Structure 1
Amino acid sequence: MKSISLILLAAGNSTRFGLSAKKQWLYQYDKPLWLFVLEHLQSIYRFENIIVVANPQEITLMRSFSSVTFVPGGSSRQESLSNALKHTQSDFVIVNDVARSCVPKELLLKLIEHAKALHCVVPALKVSDTCYFDGAPIEREKLLRIQTPQLSCTTTLKELLKTAEEFSDESTLFFNAGKCVEFIEGSTDAHKLTYKDDLRLLRCLQTPINLPRNGFGIDIHSFEENKPMVLAGIPIESPFGFKAHSDGDVAIHALIDALLGASGLGDIGELFPDNDPAFKN
């Protein structure tokens, strides 16, 4: 039986999305999009293991939602994927972007059915529109729109990732190395969420739940002599301040904890730990 792992890439910054929120954190009913996608794929196939690539600043928060393996993303898709592959020894690996939020069950099972040694299997769609390249029309019959998820032989993918050349997906990496890339019929349902207007094209997405949320925050610090006193963001004349890694502003910190708690985002200690020099003072 084929052993297959799943890697979900969810470390992006959503620079083209056009909304203030990152797309992986858009809520689908009562869960963020990355978790919605993860649970959907989990429900289709029993993967040997699952690795989620997360933004280093968000990885602690993501771990509070799920017990799968989380790894920090890198500066490129190549580096992020290499980080994830260190955690699997399966025969094959399926890589999906969180932006491919509505992958049909039939498409995922078809990928798995076509798994072959040394191969990369990718879904592709034909192009129906007239296309121009560099100011001139080209034969659309020769064009394919490549989608994710993509299935690759794990050992081959690990070896190919050692190249310094950048790539946009696994199929490009395999093709440039002279390896076999097999195409299967893709699905319009697996549309990629890149821009905010794409949201209306993704039929599987759900409206966020509309319930009141409550949060409670508390913060306590002892005093420290010869340190500035800041309370609720206002400097106060005092021979002592709050002993803390930061300014120790108990009022602001309690308010932040209340807001984070109401949002289901942990607490200030998780997001800004006092053992990280970046947050000192």
Structure 2
Amino acid sequence: MVTVILPAAGQGKRMSNQTNKVFIPLQNRPVLIHSVLAFSACPEVDNLIIAAAATEVAVVKEMLAAVPGIKPWQVVVGGSERQYSIANALQVTPAAAAVILVHDAARPLIQPAMISRMIIAAREFKAAGLAVPLKDTVKKIDEEGFVTETPARRTMWIMQTPQAFDAAILRRAYAQAGRDGFLGTDDASLVERLGVRVKLVEGSYSNVKITTPEDIITAEALLKKGREPDMLRFGMGYDVHRLVEGRKLILGGVEVPHIHGLDGHSDADVLLHAIKDAMLGAAALGDIGRHFPDTDPQYKGISSLSLLGKVKDIIASKGYMVNNIDATIVAEKPKLAPYIGKMIANIAAKLMIDIDMVNVKATTTEGLGFAGKREGIAAYAVVSIMKDACVIK
């Protein structure tokens, strides 16, 4: 069994932000979720343990519960120091775990291939750390700031995470550090104190740690660079429903006051139906009728906003996430402008994308056709989706 510990309880004081840095959005999803998805995409990993601040445990649990397909996980309360957080996580690590990896949750660009290499190294050498060669010359100085030594650059490496260990060795290292009152800067330093040699595995300079605001800019650029042109796909959706008496008018998950509502098996939210069809079309996965047939009683009266979340999960299972949405509602009445902002907010929240990635408009047909005669409402939607490098395949 391979267990991964992700310490995520740090305050990130250098971010100049009141929000925990692992909650900061990066390409439309929190930094923490990028890390969790990367490890979940590694076939050798069995389970995850996230150490969160006591005040943020509930937030992290809710965040993880909203992500489909991730490996089995649990959240523990972290400590005032990174080392204490990992010690708490070790207390709940399964006894069957043979290899334990520790990874800074604030390193969201780690790749599954690197994780696999670390697991192999841990099994062979018992202790391994991901690292990159130092590019710059390093100087050792005295207390007055004068150079006392210039270490050979070829012998200097910068440590990263994950670091991977034989489970028994890591447990022993933490127990010894606890008895000695020793506080290390990484897990390898604790293992080294036992006399165990740590094998370095070359990582990547793109495996950046989010520490300062500049790191977010760097990570965004690296993620954008990693998305190839053929990773972007487009789909179009169209839907129409008849206006009838005795039904609520639901558009974009918002109840709009009106004398008529839309007729349909579900809540007949014509806007969300068009968007869902566009999402499925972009991924070449059919339409909503195929996935949620109106002959199935479980979908009678169901919220289309709820089904939007299910469509998000469906395209995610094929490696896609929504990039942006442009939709138009065609209705003579009622006036929809006061409700469009809430519609956009509903859609963005359900799809876990930025609100500025969603555009909803409303227009009339100047009295022409079924919409102009107030017999029904139609909606058009164009959606772009993109391959998500971190999403579960």
Shift of 1:104: 2.1
**In structure 1, what is the equivalent of residue 122 of structure 2?**
115
Find the aligned partners of 1:156 and 1:118 in 2 and give their Cα distance: 11
SS at 1:58 equivalent: helix
**Alpha-carbon offset, residue 189 of structure 1:** 1.3
Instruction: Find the partner of 1:72 among 68, 74, 77.
Output: 77
Compute the displacement of 1:31 (Å): 3.0
Between the aligned partners of 2:9 and 2:182, the Cα distance in structure 1 is 20
Query: In the aligned structure 2, how far is the partner of 1:63 from the partner of 1:166?
Result: 28
Q: Which residue of 2 aligns with 1:131?
A: 138
Q: CA deviation digits over 1:51-87, x for unaligned, max 9?
A: 0110110101111122520000012222111111122
Counting helix residues as a fraction of each chain, which structure ranks higher? 2
Give the match for residue 86 of structure 2.
81
Deviations 1:227-280 (A, max 9, x none): xxxxxxxxxxxxxxxxxxxxxxxxxxxxxxxxxx9897xxxxxxxxxxxxxxxx
Q: Counterpart of 1:176 in structure 2: which amino acid?
A: R
Distance 1:180 1:14 in 2: 31
Matched with 1:167 is 184
CA distance in 2, matches of 1:131, 1:28: 32
- Whether the 8 Å CA contact 2:24–2:31 is kept in 1: the answer is yes
Partner Cα separation in structure 2 for residue 39 and residue 103 of structure 1: 10
The reply to whether residue 18 of structure 1 matches residue 31 of structure 2 is no
1:92 aligns with 2:111: no
Contact 2:9 2:78 in 1 (8 A): yes
| Structure possessing the higher radius of gyration over alpha carbons | 2
Which of 4, 10, 18 is the equivalent residue of 1:6? 4
Against the structure 1 CA distance between its residues 205 and 10, is the aligned structure 2 distance closer, same or farther, given a 3 Å change threshold? farther
After superposition, the CA RMSD in angstroms is 2.5
Runs of 4+ in 1 over 6 A off after TM superposition: 261-264
Residues 214 and 55 of structure 1: CA distance in aligned 2, closer, same or farther (over 3 Å)? farther
Q: What is the TM-score with the length of structure 1 in the denominator?
A: 0.68
Aligned position for 2:285: none
Aligned equivalents of 1:182 and 1:124: distance in 2?
10
Q: Residues of 2 paired with 1:126 and 1:118: CA distance?
A: 20
Q: Alpha-carbon deviation of 1:25? A: 1.0
Residue in 2 that maps onto 1:178: 195
Q: Which moved more, 1:160-169 or 1:43-52?
A: 43-52
One-letter amino acid of the structure 2 residue matched with residue 174 of structure 1: V
Q: Which residue of 1 aligns with 2:223?
A: 204
Which of 31, 55, 58 is the equivalent residue of 1:57? 55
Whether the 8 Å CA contact 2:7–2:103 is kept in 1: the answer is yes
CA–CA distance in structure 2, aligned partners of residues 11 and 205 of structure 1:
27
Task: Report the CA distance between 1:30 and its aligned residue.
Answer: 4.2
Which structure has more relative contact order (CA 8 Å, sep 6+)? It is: 1
Deviation at 1:193, TM superposition (A): 1.5
1:130 alignment partner AA: T
Match of 2:171 among 154, 158, 163: 158
CA distance in structure 2 between the partners assigned to 1:8 and 1:152 by the alignment: 14
Residues in 1 aligned to 2:174 and 2:125: alpha-carbon distance in whole angstroms: 14
Structure 1 Cα separation of the partners of residues 173 and 161 of structure 2: 19
In structure 2, the residue corresponding to 1:115 is in which secondary structure? helix
C-alpha contact (below 8 Å) 2:4/2:47 kept by paired residues: yes
In the alignment, the residues of structure 1 paired with residue 217 and residue 187 of structure 2 have an alpha-carbon distance, to the nearest angstrom, of 28
- Which ranges of structure 2 fall in alignment gaps of 5 or more residues? 66-72, 226-251, 255-344, 350-393
Hey, what does 1:33 align to over in structure 2? 31
> Contact (CA 8 Å) 1:152, 1:170: kept in 2 or not?
no
Query: In the aligned structure 2, how far is the partner of 1:125 from the partner of 1:26?
Result: 26
TM-score, scaled to structure 2 = 0.50
**Judging changes above 3 Å, is the alpha-carbon distance between structure 1 residues 157 and 53 closer, same or farther for their aligned structure 2 residues?**
same
- Structure 2 distance, partners of 1:186, 1:109, is 12
Change (3 A) 1:204 1:45: farther
> Which whole-Å deviations, capped at 9, do the CAs of 1:165-224 have from their partners, x for residues lacking one?
001111111112211211111111112211111223221279xxxxxx999xxxxxxxxx
Contact 2:79–2:85 under 8 Å retained in 1 = yes
CA contact (8 A) 2:38 2:111 kept: no
2:352 matched residue in structure 1? none
C-alpha displacement of 1:118: 7.2
Corresponding letter in the other structure for 1:51 = I
Gaps of 5+ in 1: 207-212, 216-260, 265-281
